[in-house]
Amino acid sequence: MTLGEKIRKFRTLTKKTQRQLGELMGFKTSTADVRINQYETNRIKPKDDIIKAISDALNTDISALSDINISSPDDLIHVLFELEDTLPMSIERNEQSFVFKIECNNRDNLRLTSYLNFWYEYKIALSERNEEYQLLKSHFIKEINQYTEAKKSELNNKYSPLVKEQKSSYTLAKTTSDITRLLCNIIESGYFVSVCYSTEHTSGIRFDVQELLSTKELEAEKLFANFLIEIERLEKKGFVCPVDILMLDKNLTISYYWPIPSFSVICSQISDYLDYYNTEDKSDFSKERFAHDFNLKLEQFYNNVEDEISFYKK
């Protein structure tokens, strides 16, 4: 589909005339329809600022108006080649079809995996409303961003009062091992916790959004509020702590990434803890042995939080 065809498609979906679209972009009424017609028929290729104006007027993603025209098998096969090199993606063949596979757990593909999960859910939800589905695809990225920002606001509204309350009683971690112990307590309280790695943000800790928003025992919620206090502490020191909401599998997750590289020791320790915690049929002896060895590691391998803050702030 050419750029002009895409403009016409999205304009039609939003039920706007060429003149209305042109006027929304600031063109004179006398020439608005002519200008849009020139773009839609590909007689004139719009410049980047015009494409941005069209995108804003139609409420589409800029990427939805990319000048990529896949109109033949020749075009498509080279797009697939590029996907194979970029993702990576694999191709399989059975008796009736070809299947293209993308590895979901690859840290390079996390955002794409999230987009694919959202796409899958929307396609099912709008299966009998094709026009709405087509319109959704035009501003898909905006839709996802608005949804995830709304979830961040929900979490903030729920935990901000608790964070404020906990500041009077919570003692900030002196070492990274103290943060590890806090996260172990959060796991023991029943929250889903996992370690996450990203080529975009290094290492961090991941939680289930719906679980955080559901009603838990107050003590469990206080523990998570204490974790947020540790994140806030770093932010007040001038660090940027990236927060990312993604749909991985069927669950919406929120990840908090450490801005200090040496804090990766926390993720390593929590990974070990989770491996044992999720083991079934643990004997009393193995529990005691693990607790002894794990606490020994926490005493031996740690970083002083304030020292690391001072070092990486330089």
Of 107, 139, 171, which one is at a domain's C-terminal end? 139
pLDDT in tens, 31-82: 999 999 999 999 999 999 999 999 999 999 999 998 888 889 999 999 899 8
Q: How confident is the model at residue 247 (pLDDT cuts 50, 70, 90)?
A: very high
Asked whether residue 305 carries a pLDDT value surpassing 70, the answer given is: yes
Q: How confident is the model at residue 250 (pLDDT cuts 50, 70, 90)?
A: confident
Do both 173 and 130 map to the same domain? Answer: no
Do both 296 and 266 map to the same domain? Answer: yes
Q: Which of 147-151, 203-207, 277-281, 301-305 has the lowest mean pLDDT?
A: 277-281
Do both 90 and 211 map to the same domain? Answer: no
Do both 263 and 205 map to the same domain? Answer: yes
Percentage of the chain modeled with pLDDT above 90: 83
Do both 43 and 134 map to the same domain? Answer: no
Q: How confident is the model at residue 124 (pLDDT cuts 50, 70, 90)?
A: very high
- 3-state secondary structure (DSSP) of residue 200: coil
Do both 89 and 152 map to the same domain? Answer: no
| Phi, psi values for residue 189, rounded to 5° | -75, -10
Residue range 266-271: mean pLDDT, rounded: 96
* Residue range(s) defining the domain that contains residue 58: 3-65
Locate tokens 């600022």: which residue? 49
Do both 173 and 221 map to the same domain? Answer: yes
Asked whether residue 105 carries a pLDDT value surpassing 80, the answer given is: no
Asked whether residue 201 carries a pLDDT value surpassing 70, the answer given is: no
Rounded to two decimals, the pTM is: 0.88
Do both 40 and 79 map to the same domain? Answer: no
pLDDT in tens, 213-234: 998 899 999 999 999 999 999 9
User: Tell me, what CATH number does 36's domain have?
Assistant: 1.10.260.40
Q: Hey, what are 171's tokens?
A: 């003692």
Inter-CA distances, 42 with 4, 46, 243, 301, Å: 5, 9, 41, 63
Of 89, 109, 139, which one is at a domain's C-terminal end? 139
Do both 249 and 176 map to the same domain? Answer: yes
Name the E strands within the chain: 89-93, 98-102, 193-198, 202-208, 243-248, 251-257
Of 139, 166, 182, which one is at a domain's C-terminal end? 139
Asked whether residue 314 carries a pLDDT value surpassing 70, the answer given is: no
Do both 185 and 273 map to the same domain? Answer: yes
The pLDDT assigned to 282 comes to 84
- The chain-wide mean pLDDT, for the chain, equals 93
Do both 42 and 103 map to the same domain? Answer: no
Q: What amino acid occupies position 97?
A: S
Specify the number of domains making up the chain: 3
Residue range 244-271: mean pLDDT, rounded: 94
Decide: 35 and 23 in contact? Cβ < 8 Å.
no
Residue range 117-130: mean pLDDT, rounded: 95
Do both 232 and 118 map to the same domain? Answer: no
